[in-house]
Structure formats: C-alpha cells, structure tokens
C-alpha cells in the first residue's frame, strides 16, 4: 500500500511554490495588525527563524477582522492603513504577504500588495467574492467553513476554476462541534487533496472556541503542537499559524495563538515529520519560475 501523500498542483506564492514536491511551508504572523512596530517586529523574528531553518515562509496579518464576537472587539487599522503597513514589511523584508479580503471592493486594492488573497472561512461560499478574487490572477487561499464538509469544497474549487483561477490553496480549520467548540477531522486534509490543490492546516484557529468567553473567543493554544504534528503526519503541504510574542496581551485571538518563543523547537519536529512522510519527494523548495 502506498502511503505517500498525493502530489498536488504546485501553487506559486511569491518566491517559492507550495505543494507539488516542495517541503512543508509556513504561513504565520499575528492575528491582526496591532501596530506597525509590533507587526514588523514579529515579521522580522519569523523571517530570521524560518531562514535559519530553511522553511519557506509567508507572512500573515489581517488589516481588518470583520468577524468579531463583540462590536467593541479590536479589528485592526482598516484596509488603507493596513495595506500600507503590509507593503512596507513586504518591501523592506522581502517577504511574501497574505491577508484576508472580506468584500468585493477590497479585492483589487488588496491584490496590489498581497501575494496571496485569503478568503475567510465564513465567506468561503460567497460566489461574487470568489469570482472577484479569481479575476486578479493572484493565488487564493480558501479556508473551509466551520459548517462545511470537505467534499463541499469541490464547489468552491469549481467556482474558482471556472472564474479563471488555477492557483488555489485549501485550508482546514476545524468544524463546529456543539456550542463554542471546534474539532478537526484529519480526513479532511486527505479528501481535499483529491481536488489536486495544496492543502493547508490552520493549527491555531482549529483550537479556537468561538464566543467561548462571552464577548470574545477562547482557545486551547497548549494543544497547537499536537495538532500541527498530526496534520504534518497526514501530509499537509503547509501550516497556518497565528503567532504572537505574548498571546495573553494580544488584541485578538490570544487564547489560540502560539507563543513566538515556542516556534523554533516545534518547527524542528515538523520538518523531521515532513521529511519522513514525503520520503524521497521531500526536497528543496522550488522557485515560482
């Protein structure tokens, strides 16, 4: 029996490809842009860690968190200011950038800065948003809705393909299980890979407890390493992690963010697992060219 993960269509994401025969990539950064300084500091540290370990890296931070538990929740600086900050980080640090788009009118200005457009889980069925994102020609990462079965994502893939996009990433982030709780079905990674595109595991939002603290979400960040190791063992093409130097002081999603200091040791484990799972397919990342 061949247990090697199915080879997916490689997707260009800046200076490297995700999927195909490429090694595990990391999409990481703070949940939201709290300030230009904090965001840049995190980006610099993540770049240093991933470069030292040879891990392909995309920096992630949201300029607006439209889906919040409370109207008082911190949302970020907004699109205009947020994209300016992300552009500076992209230029100064030579990093590919990913962020969420929530509305059709955000897509074109965001595409001028971002290397990857991300469709949030709650919006993964929004046809007009998907079509607009596809029209940019940018790679698109779609998070599977908490209410969606993995086989339902075939319809999402079809919408993007028929709108002209072939650079598609699919992310598993857990499924709703009762109230204020998510569970992860690792079969989703295998099933979504059958569509031919790279699969990503969101190892931090999968441990979110939506609305679990009344006016904000809770989480179980102590279990991030366990689920991340499990997903890599299954054979995901990349990991998505929200990371902060002090999650307890983070302005958004602190309970399910990884503490920055814990990343190097975890990455060592994940790289080893990825090489075991991929076997002879695990090699150096290839450029987008």
How confident is the model at residue 50, as a pLDDT?
98
Of 142-156, 210-224, 243-257, the range with the lowest mean pLDDT is 210-224
110 found inside a domain: yes
pLDDT at 289 over 50: no
Residue 260 Ramachandran class (φ > 0 left, ψ -120 to 50 alpha, else beta): alpha
Burial class of 118 by CB neighbour count within 10 A (0 to 12, 13 to 18, 19+) = buried
Per the structure block, which two tokens stand in for 266?
């975890």
286 found inside a domain: no
Please tell me whether residue 116 adopts helix, strand or coil conformation. Answer: strand
Q: What Å distances lie between residue 39 and 69, 90, 223, CA to CA?
A: 23, 12, 24
3 found inside a domain: no
How confident is the model at residue 286, as a pLDDT?
52
Going by pLDDT thresholds of 50, 70 and 90, the confidence category of residue 186 is very high
What is the mean predicted confidence (pLDDT) over 75-100?
Answer: 97
Burial class of 187 by CB neighbour count within 10 A (0 to 12, 13 to 18, 19+) = exposed
What is the mean predicted confidence (pLDDT) over 74-78?
Answer: 88
204 found inside a domain: yes
- The CATH number of whichever domain residue 220 belongs to comes to 3.20.20.70
Largest CA-CA distance found in the chain, in angstroms, rounded:
53
199 found inside a domain: yes
- What is the number of structural domains in the chain? 1
1 found inside a domain: no
2 found inside a domain: no
Is the model's pTM score more than 0.85?
yes
64 found inside a domain: yes
Domain that holds residue 103: 11-279
Percent of the chain with pLDDT over 70: 91
In 3D space, the residue among 240, 242, 263 whose CA is nearest the CA of residue 253 turns out to be 242
């Amino acid at each position: 029996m061949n247990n090697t993960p199915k080879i997916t269509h490689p997707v260009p994401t800046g200076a490297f490809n995700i999927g195909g025969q490429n090694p595990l990539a990391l999409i990481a950064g703070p949940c939201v842009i709290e300030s230009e300084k904090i965001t840049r500091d995190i980006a610099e540290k993540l770049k240093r860690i991933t470069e030292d370990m040879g891990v392909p890296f995309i920096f992630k931070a949201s300029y607006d968190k439209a889906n919040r538990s409370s109207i008082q929740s911190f949302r970020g600086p907004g699109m205009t200011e947020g994209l300016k900050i992300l552009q500076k980080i992209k230029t100064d640090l030579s990093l590919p950038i990913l962020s969420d788009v929530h509305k059709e009118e955000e897509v074109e200005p965001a595409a001028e800065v971002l290397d990857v457009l991300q469709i949030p889980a709650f919006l993964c069925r929004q046809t007009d948003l998907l079509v607009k994102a596809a029209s940019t020609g940018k790679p698109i990462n779609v998070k599977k809705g908490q209410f969606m079965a993995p086989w339902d994502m075939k319809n999402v893939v079809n919408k993007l393909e028929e709108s002209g996009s072939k650079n598609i990433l699919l992310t598993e982030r857990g499924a709703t299980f009762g109230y204020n709780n998510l569970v992860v079905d690792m079969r989703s990674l295998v099933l979504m890979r059958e569509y031919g595109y790279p699969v990503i595991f969101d190892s931090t939002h999968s441990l979110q407890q939506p609305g679990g603290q009344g006016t904000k979400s809770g989480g179980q960040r102590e279990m991030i390493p366990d689920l991340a190791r499990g997903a890599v063992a299954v054979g995901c093409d990349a990991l998505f992690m929200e990371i902060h130097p002090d999650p307890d002081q983070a302005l958004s999603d602190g309970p399910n963010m990884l503490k920055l200091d814990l990343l190097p040791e975890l990455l060592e484990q994940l790289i080893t697992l990825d090489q075991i799972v991929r076997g002879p397919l695990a090699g150096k990342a290839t450029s987008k060219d």
